[in-house]
Amino acid sequence: MVDFAGRHVIITGGAGALGTAVTALLLEAGAHCRIPYRRAADAERFAHRGHERVTMIGDSDLADETAVVRLYDGAPSLWASIHLAGGFAAAPLAKTAKADFAAQIETNLASCFLCCREAVRAMQKSANGGRIVNVAARPALEWRSGAGMAAYTASKAGVAALTAALAEEVAKDGILVNAVAPSIMDTAANRKAMPKADFDAWPKVEEVAATIAFLASPDNRVSRGGIVPVYGKS
């Protein structure tokens, strides 16, 4: 079991399926979790919203620079920042408008960039080091698997490149930056969208969460710049 006792962590996308699993692990390990959200419905159904070490932060548009600065300015002695928020859209390139492409860049890459930047600023200010974990995707490593979803693939490949470059930049500050790259995860939404798929082959959110928790923990003393495949049997 990793140890987060007394440590403060921001988890974007924390109210989603993977975020709920990550939050559960970190709370069990003693963390104080700050969970930003945009829609009230997301907060209302979040399983851990009433926990004494959970702080819910509303009106959090993670592609809005001012909102992200405000989110991190309010975080006391930040240890880890875990960036799960994002969006998915699939369409052939010939049917993808510039606005659709821009939306994927904003939702996946720009939001990750802004959260990474503010996390680094907070961690450098405290001078205690820290951990950043991003979420790429399998097509970010295996580009050909992104056929039919080129805009999404490009945005997640950007997350992977950002992760590796930033890891090199801030290692001297004791800040270790990594990412996970999931394949299709076993969630209720994915099962509904692909009812004929082999669910047993998909990685479980709890399994992906365990990898994220380790990378974000003080037990991770040397891993940085990694884009870790979390594919399960798929």
> Rounded distance, CA 34 to CA 13, Å?
11
Of the candidates 37, 72, 152, 231, the residue annotated as catalytic is 152
Name the residue among 45, 60, 15, 59 with its Cα closest to residue 33: 15
Domain locations along the chain: 8-226
Task: Give the whole-angstrom CA distance, residue 164 versus residue 26.
Answer: 24
The answer to whether residue 231 is catalytic is: no
Class of domain 8-226: alpha beta
Q: Over 90: is that where the pLDDT of 163 sits?
A: yes
pLDDT at position 173 over 90: yes
Residues 193-204: tens digit of each pLDDT: 999 999 999 999
Section 63-80 average pLDDT: 94
Q: Note the Cα 33 to chain centre separation in Å.
A: 14
Contact 20, 14 (CB under 8 A): yes
Identify which has the larger pLDDT, 204 or 76. 204
**SS3 for 83?**
strand
Identify the band that residue 1 occupies on the pLDDT scale cut at 50, 70 and 90: confident
